[in-house]
């Protein structure tokens, strides 16, 4: 019998046996990479193979819900027929997560976020670009306070003065400490 992806996720979350989940403030750091993308500017389209990112999170965990502020930095080298150029992107997001805890040490998490980005490439710069993202992770609870989490994010920026809508598929490894 074929079970689709959404049904599998529903089973994972509904099968969780919520036990004494810690609540409190946490700090999380992450490093990762993005997949091959194309940045669409008003005058040119730029290709890049990989991007590198670093993120810092400050949040509050309330049982199975988490609320956090994210500050991330991404950089890549763009390839054009006549030159190479660096692109930098800074993003600040407000993220909300639902986590499925069970008696094992695995934690599945779904999240959504919204915020602003600034991007600069080859002299073109835009700030305060509305951005949003969806995230999925399966983490490992090393202790009640320390979680190691591989994370997938799909982030999208809306159209701005110098750039068309752009999206990124990001993979990161995050370390979270709950106080």
Q: How is the chain split into domains, by residue range? A: 5-178
Q: From first to last of its 179 residues, what are the pLDDT tens digits of the chain? A: 455 766 665 655 554 444 557 789 999 999 999 876 667 666 666 667 678 999 999 999 998 899 999 999 988 877 666 667 788 889 999 999 998 876 778 888 999 999 999 988 777 788 888 999 999 999 999 998 899 999 999 998 888 777 776 778 899 999 999 99
Cα torsion through 26, 107, 33, 43, rounded to 10: -90
CATH number, span 5-178 = 2.40.160.20
Q: How far lies 107's CA from each of 119, 140, 141, in Å?
A: 33, 6, 7
Question: What are the beta bridge partners of residue 89?
Answer: 74, 119
Assessment of whether the complete model's pTM goes beyond 0.85: no
């Amino acid at each position: 019998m074929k079970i689709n992806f959404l049904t599998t996720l529903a089973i994972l979350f509904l099968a969780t046996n919520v036990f004494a989940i810690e609540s409190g403030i946490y700090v999380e750091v992450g490093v990762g990479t993005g997949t091959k993308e194309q940045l669409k500017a008003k005058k040119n389209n730029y290709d890049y193979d990989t991007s590198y990112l670093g993120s810092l999170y400050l949040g509050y965990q309330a049982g199975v819900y988490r609320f956090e502020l994210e500050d991330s930095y991404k950089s890549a080298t763009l390839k054009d027929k006549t030159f190479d150029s660096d692109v930098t992107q800074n993003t600040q997001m407000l993220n909300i997560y639902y986590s499925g805890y069970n008696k094992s040490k695995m934690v599945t998490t779904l999240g959504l976020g919204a915020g602003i980005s600034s991007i600069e490439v080859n002299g073109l710069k835009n700030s305060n670009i509305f951005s949003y993202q969806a995230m999925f992770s399966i983490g490992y609870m090393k202790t009640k306070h320390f979680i190691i989490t591989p994370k997938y994010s799909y982030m999208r920026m809306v159209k701005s003065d110098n750039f068309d809508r752009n999206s990124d598929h990001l993979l990161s490894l995050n370390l979270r400490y709950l106080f």
